[in-house]
Structure 1
């Protein structure tokens, strides 16, 4: 976003931390145009009652395109009146004598409720024709809704599970369908977007059969500002779109502040928690001003934590997240609109375009993951061209710490495209089964972008597997179970594990669900699992029945899985050679196995115990971005990492322990075998000394080994290089997710100091966690230099001494250090001058 913003400003005196940056977006005048003649007088009168007597210019342009029968996508800022662009055609539809229908699809139930209220407020006499059909709709109302509603408001999940499989019950509605509205298109990225695109393929296939050759429904899509809104929209619906992205709406003045919590541990460079800091900031804001405040948090659990902190500070606050009963959510939504609720903490369920009243300020606890979401959150305040304030409170996360020092990334960075891959084979395979259930396939039919032959091959495979049968040149679904029930739009896994507990009467109840791959590390036997803030201990994980049995447990510890993850590269897709490294995009197989878990103190995070597990290996075929360091650069790093660090205090008994170990090892180096006098030998900690909270734990005899000076230097250099490689890889992982605007969990990272596939050279894999990949690896490859430079900036500008969670991640958190080594690796990669692309088949 190009800007005339002031220079970076730091105000160290701020009592709740540091205002690392602040700027003001000035107010902006709207460009109005008169109501056009093609809008009927009835609609003009209806709009006038709502004080809408003019249109913004971009609204008029979009309505002209809709009137001419085009599919459109509107990609403008918050509060720019996108909703009116589809509300006007729907109002015309309802007031006409035709039987035409409209399907409105929103990603959240809150937004669906808001849009129905908005339409009903404009045309109350048609309220019975405008109905919501989602998971909250009572079963006794559903038959009547299918028969009488002309406008159905739903979400992708309900379309997938509750409408398309039962399309016969919707035949009249679907035959008359004129408009399909898809709002908040920028949400449909990654796995969710790839699944949703296939849901629309299935909808299109059903409409083609109901409407025969008269297949003339129109798509109206709305999105926050995206650099590829038209491309994303066309991938979602599979049809050409016309884009409208010039925002001619008016805006009030916005004050934006980036706040970094204060340092609470100078030695480890640890900051106060972002939730605690945000709670104090909220209390401060609400005391000074009698206005509304909305706080965004990243997870359901953090919402509950923030609510508790705020109430401890005397703030009247409500939470808002999934898991609340529908009546609770509706009450909070109304409280926001009517100004009765002054403070609400929410997940991104309130990030979208719902009109939530006269909101004055918004706090975001941490960066939401994309620039589009950043502006969506900011746009929740100041919706009626009033002045507003937006606060981004940084966490210890490396991305947040980078943005605290580089706010220009958000100000000046072009919003990255939202990436989806509807043709991901696993996702497409699942939806082809759903489509087969909904309608038989003919031999000459294709699905999605599959060829007729490829579609037939998959259908033949389903026949051989017994889930389909072929008769008379057609393929039919041959199972009683709905395939839709095992396909989650939010995840690519075919299998789901149900988390089962018991209520007070001993009745088994399902408290949650997790995909099978995640179950190995989230709900293994002995795991502590938090659900809506309540702790449970997993008694058993049954992978044959896909059930994890949980019991309520007042825990004093948490658990984290010990995972052995290996990556095996396959076909090289792209490569570029540099002076110090070669970079690749490759097909890879990831082998992941949970081998045990650690118990950690819930307050101090110290390791209390380590327990073994025996769980099966899981394999994932995906794509990866890959850096392989060259041998000469590796040798340089090993040599340069041999600087002297501060000598550790090994405890009062260290001379006695040292002598005992050397005698145990018979005065010989345990690597090269050389024998020497005691004074020429050294004792090495196998698990680094700094990993432990006290010398007694570190100096256990089994953790000590005798080495000669040369071998000890080589081992220490290797440890430091591994720490540096791991630390740089962790920072690179975070920066890649920032630049690609994807979830951090969409990518994973492995740093291998001796990668067997590349002659034992050090390698960093950043691989996609989505089967088959969706193009994230290629995007990293195309932006390598930019992402490496950002990674260097993050580590260099961090004020810690030798690495911390805010720069090099876990390596710094456990005290290994590695900051200098990570910088050395990063500088070498930055200066590698990668050559032209080459395609290796």
Structure 2
């Protein structure tokens, strides 16, 4: 069935027509073929032809030629455009040529040559395993037996790891293994490093933010050690379509952008693709069972409801990735924004007549019309489950992307329940797929969806990256995935290899999603984001300099590889006794491994293993940060549709013990979060305001949980838990707005939460332009009365333990940062707030409350007290006290 017929299935003969807010047909694209390069290994070409690739696409040949010529190359084309061929063809051809040369004259020692080696790096183990399977198919089709390929990562056993070190021509791994194992033990990997011809960095757009900075420095350490062993590998990078891929690739590997050849013209064919923006229906009265049948996110999105008070309480965004997003229920009268029954209130955030220049932000002259709040709508996950059931019934092969592991399990379970009412044979065609599954389970699911034994997978973004799953008819996306890069990566799974496909983005009950499905240009026409990261961030660079010195003494002539800040940081590390300086360079002299000083992914601890109590079978893993809320005693844990009840949680051992039980309920955790200022390191007075930087503790503690019956979510019981608090100590920048500043801005107690919240969101969105970070590296907090400041306060903090330098950069550029924030809000043409100004794609409060007009007035008032550029003085103000 084509996308038009599948859309007709979803529209249900017009009964759902009003839910499709926008339908767009993306035209097909003809493919452009090229001849196989003359240097390409003939057996490999024969293997590709046996797998159906008669002639390559033009972009594949352009990239392969550049790689073969010794140029660092980035290939940034669409999902399913065959990027793998572009790097495997030159790499494997070189390996086979080297293997043949090594045996030309085995009787003469001078004819012996080293076989070239290839190192393949991917952001996930799943992708490396998928590439291994693809390579095995290619080599089998080519009939070759002289290329030795293997994966090697943290799960690889000691004997197998030794074989890889001694014999493998192609090693597939990830940056984590490089950082913790290969580079610190480089002498045992000398054969691989001394012969290293190519380094392949797959899905390189995934290396962004602090993680991207870490990976960039790992790659610099790799290139440094390879040079020490006499190798100068060519780096080839594969990426989704991103803004300025050459610059991003160059920053990742540590070279000048002029040294990177970028291939961006996609010559692969594309079938017609239909993209639909979809809004679930309103619920009659807002109390129907579908209103809350399937939670949008994991239990961290369910908050502890506290009674309303006269003073609006703290509003917390889960904007940082290091901890749960906790915030008030949007229906709490203590934190709901101004009413919208009166146009003048909706437009200005205050009661009374509309300002003379219009109802929009001051100075824009824009006149706004208040839009009444919608009644509650069916959740995106509930809607996706119903749509997925219809597509499976129609015979379509589909992926349904959700925003959480719990969402993936819920969509799969509910879809199977719908299908059981239609045909008892259909439920077996649907499964879930997510992180935390065992590797063998993921491989089996991937093979089942490829072969057609499964028609549908409800998945997290674990399948967004390049695992080869082609031939899909449709993709459903439950909620805005956060970036346009992710949107098009997920959408690219539909209609691969030139086939037609259907993509449906289903809006969550969130103003951001609502805005996007009613403003298709914001979702579908705006350019994709650049990949943002900063390898010069001193908080990231310093531990990698230590790791490099531990691997091999760091010489002065090598510092250019690590950038202009390396010398300054090495001096500081030497003064603090972390490194020791000798005439020959900098040395690591401590017993513990230097690689342990940093965690590439900032995961915050080892995953908790979920084990079946009766059998000892490992069911899966849960991130340490979310274990308290998902695998506490009494929690219902869902794995591949089967339910287990957790009997014991041993945090110190990282183990949760569970028993298989069929239950008719789910569990939802309750917790509280607090933020405490630990140390004010710097402080500047802006008239009545203070502008501060220092250390804060963000503490979250799970207090208990509720058992709720499915599907109506009636509360069955409430239970207390005795779990320890979890605290993230990190760096934050914050500013205060005492009552006189709020009064100056015309911000009342009623409108203050929305004003502060909107200003916080906008400032988080603008800081990456000044601090070279990613929005996902930041967290935020806004509160009308904070316990430590005693007044209204807006915090922006680094989302990484100890800080990552972003908040500090914001402090140094305070007035510039806030003026840019103010200008971004004022220049945005929207009426009451949108993703381009005050809405956040990762707000833990569902983007409520937000008051764009009041935020603009507040920032105007704050900036009247900010120092002018000439008054700012040195970049590092004198510490407070």
Tell me whether the two structures share a fold, i.e. TM-score over 0.5. yes
Within a 5 Å distance, the mapping from 1:341-740 to structure 2 comes to 341-441=454-554, 446=559, 448-449=562-563, 450-452=565-567, 454-459=569-574, 461-463=576-578, 477-478=588-589, 481-484=592-595, 487-491=598-602, 496=605, 499=608, 504=613, 536=646, 557-566=668-677, 587-594=693-700, 597=703, 602=708, 603=713, 619-622=729-732, 634-635=743-744, 637-638=746-747, 717-718=748-749, 720-729=750-759, 732=762
- CA gap 1:157/1:604 in 2 versus in 1, 3 angstroms: farther
> How far 1:420 moved relative to its partner?
1.0
**TM-score of the aligned structures, taking structure 1 as reference length:** 0.73
Residues 1:808 and 1:191: Cα distance change in structure 2 (over 3 Å): closer
Q: Is the 8 A contact 2:389 2:416 kept in 1?
A: no
SS in 2 for 1:621: strand
Over 3 Å counting, the alpha-carbon distance change for 1:356 and 1:46 in structure 2 is same
Shift of 1:347: 2.0
Q: After the TM superposition, which of the residue ranges 731-740 and 187-196 deviates more from structure 2?
A: 731-740
- Per-residue CA distance 1:457-493 (angstroms, 9 max, x = gap): 4145355xxxx77788565555555444564321176
CA contact (8 A) 2:607 2:622 kept: yes
Partner Cα separation in structure 2 for residue 503 and residue 117 of structure 1: 30
Partner residue of 2:413 out of 308, 316, 328: 308
Q: Quote the offset at 1:184 in angstroms.
A: 0.6
Distance in 2, Cα, partners of 1:445 & 1:438: 13
Structure 1 residue 18, shift from structure 2 partner: 1.6
Whole-angstrom CA distance in 1 between matches of 2:172 and 2:251: 22
Does the Cα contact within 8 Å between 2:737 and 2:793 map onto a contact in 1? yes
Tell which structure's C-alpha radius of gyration is larger: 1
Q: Which residue is equivalent to 2:364?
A: none
Cα deviation, 1:332-381, whole Å, max 9, x if unaligned, reads 22222222221112222211223213111111122221111111111112
Preserved contact between residue 631 and residue 646 of structure 2 (Cα < 8 Å)? no
Q: Aligned residue for 1:772?
A: 804
Classify 1:569/1:223 alpha carbon distance in 2 versus 1 (closer, same or farther; 3 Å). Answer: farther
Match of 2:386 in 1: 280
Counterparts in 2 of 1:136-175, with a 5 A limit?
136-175=155-194
1:710 matched residue in structure 2 = none
Q: What CA distance in whole angstroms lies between the structure 2 residues aligned with 1:329 and 1:500?
A: 17
Gaps of 5+ in 2: 1-9, 102-114, 287-330, 332-374, 420-426, 875-881
CA contact (8 A) 1:748 1:766 kept: yes
Q: Report if aligned partners of 2:736, 2:793 keep a CA contact under 8 Å in 1.
A: yes
1:709 corresponds in structure 2 to: none
Counterpart of 1:178 in 2: which secondary structure? strand
Residue 337 of structure 2 aligns with which residue?
Answer: none
Aligned with 1:195 (options 211, 214, 219): 214
Q: How does 1:35-434 map to 2 (within 5 A)?
A: 35-39=36-40, 43-96=44-97, 97-98=100-101, 99-124=115-140, 125-126=144-145, 129-211=148-230, 215-240=231-256, 241-264=260-283, 269-288=375-394, 290-314=395-419, 315=427, 316-434=429-547
1:825 aligned residue: 854
SS in 2 for 1:28: coil
Q: Aligned to 2:514, what secondary structure does the other structure show?
A: helix
Q: Tell me, in whole angstroms, the C-alpha distance in 2 between the residues paired with 1:352 and 1:726.
A: 37
**Do the aligned partners of 2:121 and 2:202 also contact (CA within 8 Å) in 1?**
yes
Rounded Cα–Cα distance in structure 1 between residues aligned with 2:34 and 2:390: 42
- Describe how 1:807-822 pairs up with structure 2 within 5 A: 810=845, 822=851
Deviation at 1:227, TM superposition (A): 0.9
Q: Deviations over 1:223-258 (max 9, x none)?
A: 111113222211211013222222232211000111
Q: Which moved more, 1:239-248 or 1:553-562?
A: 553-562
Match of 2:877 in 1: none
Aligned partners of 1:229 and 1:512: how far apart in 2?
34
Cα deviation for residue 65 of structure 1 reads 2.3
Paired with 1:320 and 1:279, the residues of 2 have a C-alpha distance of 15
Mean Cα deviation higher: 775-784 or 295-304: 775-784
CA contact (8 A) 1:727 1:809 kept: no
The secondary structure found in structure 2 opposite 1:332 is helix
- Cα deviation, residue 49, structure 1: 3.5
Deviations 1:122-163 (A, max 9, x none): 332147512222344444322222222111111222222332
Gap change, CA 1:764 and 1:564, over 3 Å in 2:
closer
Distance 1:727 1:457 in 2: 38
**Aligned equivalents of 2:496, 2:536: Cα separation in 1:** 38
Cα distance in 2 for residues equivalent to 1:572 and 1:437: 37
Provide the TM-score with structure 2 as the length reference. 0.70
Give the secondary structure class of the aligned counterpart of 1:226: coil
Shift of 1:295: 1.4
* Kept after mapping to 1: 8 A contact 2:731/2:797: no
Q: Is the 8 A contact 2:402 2:461 kept in 1?
A: yes
Q: Secondary structure at the match of 1:32?
A: coil
1:788 aligned onto 2:825: yes
Deviation (angstroms), 1:409? 1.2
Between 1:166-175 and 1:57-66, the stretch displaced more is: 57-66
What's the CA shift for 1:220?
A: 0.6
Change (3 A) 1:823 1:292: same
1:369 touches 1:738 (CA, 8 Å); kept in 2? Answer: no
Q: Verify the 8 A CA contact 1:100 1:150 in the aligned structure 2.
A: yes
What is the CA-CA distance between 1:183 and the residue it aligns to? 1.0
Partner of 1:706: none
Quote the offset at 1:25 in angstroms: 0.4
